[in-house]
Structure 1
Amino acid sequence: MQATNAVLYPEKRIGHLPGVDVGVQFYSRAEMVVLGIHGHWMKGIDYMSSKYEDKTGYQGLTFPLATSIVMSGVYEDDFDKADEIIYTGEGGNNFLGNSHQKTNQTLVGGNLALKNSKDNGNPIRVIRGHKDKDSYTGKVYTYDGLYKVVDCLSEKGVRGHFVFKFKLKRLEGQLPLTTSQVLFKRGDVHMPISELPGLVCRDISYGQENLPIPATNLIDNPPVPPFGFVYSKTLQIPEYIKIPADSIGCNCKGDCSTSKHCLCADRNGSDLPYVSRQRKVSAKHATCKKIGRLVEPKAVVFECGANCSCYCNCVNRTSQQGLQYRLEVFKTELKGWGVRTWDTILPGALICEYTGVLRRNEEVECLMDNKYIFDIDCLQTIKGLDGRKQRPGSELHMTSLQDEHDSEACQAPEYCIDAGSVGNIARFINHSCQPNLFIQCVLSSHRDIKLAKIMLFAADTIPPLQELSYDYGYCLDSIIGADGNAVKLACHCGASNCRKWLY
């Protein structure tokens, strides 16, 4: 592709590449070459040769000139503190996978280019690589923005050979790193919970979830953990709200995905809403677990329930399997608490349920200061009310969900989930105008759409240490204060298409 000039940016450039945002990921070095963000599929330093010195905009600069580096644990003298890097120059590595240096490095090629970049002051694109079992190459590479070379020195490395060490600092005013608290030495992407910087709680669920959920706080002084709520992995239902029972279930044997005819599949429009995938859950014992991924967002998902004869780990019981990914609650600078993942999460994967106390909307209308109210508006979405976008399956369910009161149904949601004082990790997930999660209504124990479960699923591939987010769906000027005036709240999501206001 390079030979035929078929790459996106065949000419080397300094700075950001249009269309390649901070946080974009690549699953091989070749993908970066095709775009032109890093022009070598092996070398860690990409640079402009002397052929660029007469081109417009580059006169007066000293060449060769570095444009990008890849940091992926090849050199044992590398040191990474996220916003500050000590990067080992190229040459002298034995490339046996143990990161050992075998000879001295010389000030030529990429090493000279990085030194000239320090003298010229041009920014460098930094790409970090780390191991990832879900990548077809075994690695994933993340573009982490622009850095400047601020120092250059030659000294003896760990093995006694002279190496060049370049100190780089990240430029301000860029999107935050998705990898801001990870040490990338030799490709590590996470650390034991006990070693997390700013750890304030080892597990906010206190053993309720399949996996512990640590909380970290590097913002407050002194650091404090999340407080003012009781963790509950399940929805709390008051006695005065009666949940209807579903007396009909499928008679599948084993997993419904292997059945020739499944009643629950018929309810979803003849096909099951999930596809199954084997995921390794224990490297030590090489054990795998079958987990479901949602094929597409739907008007409503019908899962198997208590009256179904299939196995409890049937793919059509995905929302009932609990937490499957390692998540962390962390304190942000402007948005309060947030949630990020330690694992790569693929599109359609279940994140969690939004839990709390089930209430009637009329009960919480006066609770203006409660920021954790989630309307169960699945019926309104199916009908496309109040600007909601209808999803596949809406027409199918319009008839099957009718009841004797439907013609008189209120335009507004009848029930909501109050996670103000009781809730799970979902209460900490922030809004974004460019979210990586979406909301999905799920029914399993009954068929009353007004009381559907609210589940959060991945909308895209989410790399480790990226913050999770969904669109809260507020309309501008939709929140009215006690004085009768619209209440405004600025949005700090940082997305390129940010609407500037949450409401």
Structure 2
Amino acid sequence: MASPIPFLDLNLLPDTPLISPKIEPKSEPHEEEPLQILPPTDPNPNPNPGHQISTVPETPPAAADDVYSEFLRISHLFRSAFAEKLRRRYRDVAVLHPDSLSIIPANHEPYLSSAIVTATRAKRHRSTEMVRVSPIGVHDHQHFRGSVRTARITYESLRLFLIQEEERATNSSGSAKRIRADLKAAAAMMDRGLWLNRDKRIIGSIPGVHVGDQFFFRMEMCVIGLHGQVQAGIDYVAATRNTNGEPIATSIIVSGGYEDDEDKGDVIIYTGHGGKERDNLRHSLHQKLEGGNLALERSRHYGIEVRVIRGKKCEGSPTGKVYVYDGLYRILEYWLDIGRSGFGVYKYKLLRIEGQPDMGSVIMKFADDLRRDPLSARPSGYLSLDISRGKEKLPVYLFNDVDCDRDPMFFDYLVSPVYPPFAFHEAGNGGTDSRGCDCTSGCLDGCYCVEKNGGDMAYDSSGILLRGKPLIYECGSFCRCPQSCRNRVTQKGVKHRLEVFRSRETGWGVRSLDLIRAGAFICEYTGIVLTKQQATVVAMNGDSLIYPDRFPGRWAEWGDISRVFPEYLRPAYPSLPQLSFAMDVSTMRNVACYFSHSCSPNVLVQFVLYDHYNLSYPHLMLFALENIPPLRELSIDYGVGDGWTEKFSP
């Protein structure tokens, strides 16, 4: 495991290169020995040291009081409100008492209710002990990345659940409510002690967080410990919480909130906080060298790097904005200046530390240029501007600047899989009837197809998968509802610009030129569908075959809120029989066949039916398991071989 190293005093020279993460130990400024803190008095300490957490956020600046007060209010109401909503929302669980977090299957005997008690963690203040994390190996890297990924999936699953519940309440009452599902989801995770990196204040890189990772909500960054302030742009250890009486800054958000900011990428002129009225970019008061402003000055004095997160406008974001982690910067100098509004402002010059991956915000800009004119942005390397030859709604690029391999050009592109004719005439394995819904407009709760899904809508109004299931029934050719129906998502084709590219590490791979939201549909996995007997014969020729039953059940991760409610039951309906068919992708396939394999993938496989109801031959639909930044490689878990053949290797 990675070892947290106490932060020691090193007054680095201005021209001294700073490598992250630091190897040498450091302690608090003006302290000769590593900082010592008293053991927490929490009677229920965190049993998992890999998730360093504390359940109460540090008091934020006055500018954040409105959001922070709402967050605390939601946290206090969590026990009585959230658990009751879960009971009303899902039919397969029951809440024992409005003030209890205990959940049991609905068919449990009543006498068990007195024996099941779930206690919440005692709350602790956010730690002031500052550490760096030593360089970590591959397995530790996977561990921390997995922890961050799980926390983010839990957060988004809770957020979607709360929005869905509020929509249901609005439809029944007819009155719209203003909700802050982002705050409520964070409060629920805090109550369960699921916030990461809370009992250590990490200086520098956060294990498991990659440069270029993107977030739609500030509370999500608080949950994983990347930036701990609900609203303020400067996160720091306050002077009153530090043993030497000096504040230390750990991260900042650059989002154009001040008119005097200058952002040139590697070099930032950052304006301190304070001195302006709320919701106004112009200053109306002189800034003071206190709080976060003083913390930045002290970090400059002691050569302490800060994490930089940029806020960007984003059309595909549920908030209209996206936060991009762009790595570590060193503060070179600061000064008091007269701003454009005529008031005194503190300015800080930051320089990005060399040797880090490319900035996510720069990659976003490059991807935007590629979407507008790929040949101007990248004149060489393209083998094709659309290997689908117009069959997909959006072009699928083919790019290779590594070698002379042109393999993806030599196959027939399939938008949809080719099923055997009998798949459309047999229900198979006790499948449901082929009757569709009679909805003449958009389908809502009570729709026949919704009832086949267990009474749940599969997607939200934006087409985001609400939670994974063994199988999803979409409205299809047997239904009367229009193509704009909310329950028709995967059959409409790709919605993101995809690119097959040649990689030195993984061979052929796939990436998107667009930001893909967690839970969004990407594409279908296509090929020639074979029965098991046919596959046995074809495999003898060495052709590339895919076996759907080998894909691990990653669908169960999406929408899973069992970390907040341990007795929460994952969906088991609609059920799916053991799949015995294979898919031949040797000569006819689509872009999905070039997705690389990963044991920690960012894409999941969800089985879907819509054009037929034969349970033995579902469609293999691919959804994003996390927010996937532009030009980041897409990966799925192909599982392990069972003796038939290995996975398709482009």
Please say whether Structure 1 and Structure 2 have the same fold, judged by a TM-score greater than 0.5. yes
In 1: Cα distance, 2:550 partner to 2:611 partner: 16
* TM-score, normalisation: structure 2: 0.51
In 1: Cα distance, 2:491 partner to 2:290 partner: 58
Counterpart of 2:436, as a letter, is: C
In 1: Cα distance, 2:243 partner to 2:458 partner: 57
Select the residue among 259, 271, 293 that pairs with 1:90: 271
The worse-fitting range, judged by mean Cα deviation, of 43-52 and 457-466 is 43-52
The equivalent of 1:439 in structure 2 is: 605
Aligned 8 A contact 1:179 1:464 in 2: no
Note if 1:376 corresponds to 2:548: yes
1:281-316 CA distances to partner (integer Å, 9 max, x unpaired)? xxxxxxxxxx4x444322323334433333334333
The equivalent of 1:334 in structure 2 is: 505
Note if 1:355 corresponds to 2:526: yes
Q: Going by fraction, where is strand more abundant, 1 or 2?
A: 1
The equivalent of 1:244 in structure 2 is: 424
Select the residue among 375, 390, 394 that pairs with 1:211: 394
In 1: Cα distance, 2:583 partner to 2:417 partner: 8
Give the C-alpha shift of residue 354 in structure 1.
0.5
After TM superposition, list the pairs within 5 Å mapping 1:286-435 onto structure 2.
291=463, 293-336=464-507, 337-340=509-512, 342-347=514-519, 349-359=520-530, 360-366=534-540, 368=542, 370=544, 373-377=545-549, 392-393=571-572, 414-435=580-601
SS in 1 for 2:616: helix
Change (3 A) 1:445 1:354: same
After TM superposition, list the pairs within 5 Å mapping 1:267-286 onto structure 2.
267-269=452-454, 271=455, 273-277=457-461, 279=462
Select the residue among 26, 32, 38 that pairs with 2:227: 38
In 2: Cα distance, 1:315 partner to 1:42 partner: 34
Residues paired across the two proteins, number = 424
Counterpart of 1:203, as a letter, is: D
Select the residue among 43, 47, 58 that pairs with 1:2: 58
The equivalent of 2:306 in structure 1 is: 124
In 2: Cα distance, 1:379 partner to 1:24 partner: 26
1:428-485 CA distances to partner (integer Å, 9 max, x unpaired)? 222222223221222233333333221112334545554432211115xx5699xxxx
Aligned 8 A contact 1:27 1:141 in 2: yes
Give the C-alpha shift of residue 248 in structure 1.
3.6
Aligned 8 A contact 1:299 1:391 in 2: no
Change (3 A) 1:294 1:117: closer
In 2: Cα distance, 1:276 partner to 1:440 partner: 16
Change (3 A) 1:276 1:221: same
Counterpart of 1:232, as a letter, is: L
SS in 2 for 1:182: helix
Give the C-alpha shift of residue 369 in structure 1.
7.4
Select the residue among 17, 21, 26 that pairs with 2:209: 21
Change (3 A) 1:179 1:377: farther
In 1: Cα distance, 2:289 partner to 2:423 partner: 73
In 1: Cα distance, 2:552 partner to 2:220 partner: 42
The equivalent of 2:96 in structure 1 is: none
After TM superposition, list the pairs within 5 Å mapping 1:157-176 onto structure 2.
165-169=349-353, 171=355
Give the C-alpha shift of residue 168 in structure 1.
0.9
The equivalent of 1:458 in structure 2 is: 624
In 1: Cα distance, 2:299 partner to 2:395 partner: 44
Select the residue among 225, 250, 254 that pairs with 1:71: 254
Counterpart of 2:322, as a letter, is: V
Change (3 A) 1:120 1:418: farther
The equivalent of 1:499 in structure 2 is: none
Aligned 8 A contact 1:249 1:309 in 2: no
Change (3 A) 1:467 1:180: farther
In 2: Cα distance, 1:301 partner to 1:107 partner: 57
In 2: Cα distance, 1:415 partner to 1:78 partner: 55
Unaligned runs of 5+ in 2: 1-56, 60-71, 73-122, 131-200, 427-432, 554-568
Give the C-alpha shift of residue 91 in structure 1.
5.5
Note if 1:142 corresponds to 2:332: no
Aligned 8 A contact 2:234 2:253 in 1: yes
In 2: Cα distance, 1:199 partner to 1:51 partner: 56
1:351-386 CA distances to partner (integer Å, 9 max, x unpaired)? 21101233331144235574xx321339998xxxxx
Change (3 A) 1:207 1:41: same
In 2: Cα distance, 1:230 partner to 1:98 partner: 56
Counterpart of 2:585, as a letter, is: A
Aligned 8 A contact 1:429 1:469 in 2: yes
In 2: Cα distance, 1:210 partner to 1:196 partner: 22
In 1: Cα distance, 2:570 partner to 2:535 partner: 24
Give the C-alpha shift of residue 335 in structure 1.
1.7
Unaligned runs of 5+ in 1: 280-290, 382-389, 399-410, 482-486, 490-501
Note if 1:235 corresponds to 2:427: no
* TM-score, normalisation: structure 1: 0.64
Change (3 A) 1:39 1:352: closer
Counterpart of 1:376, as a letter, is: P
Change (3 A) 1:216 1:112: farther
Counterpart of 1:458, as a letter, is: A
Give the C-alpha shift of residue 212 in structure 1.
2.7
In 1: Cα distance, 2:263 partner to 2:497 partner: 27
Change (3 A) 1:450 1:122: same
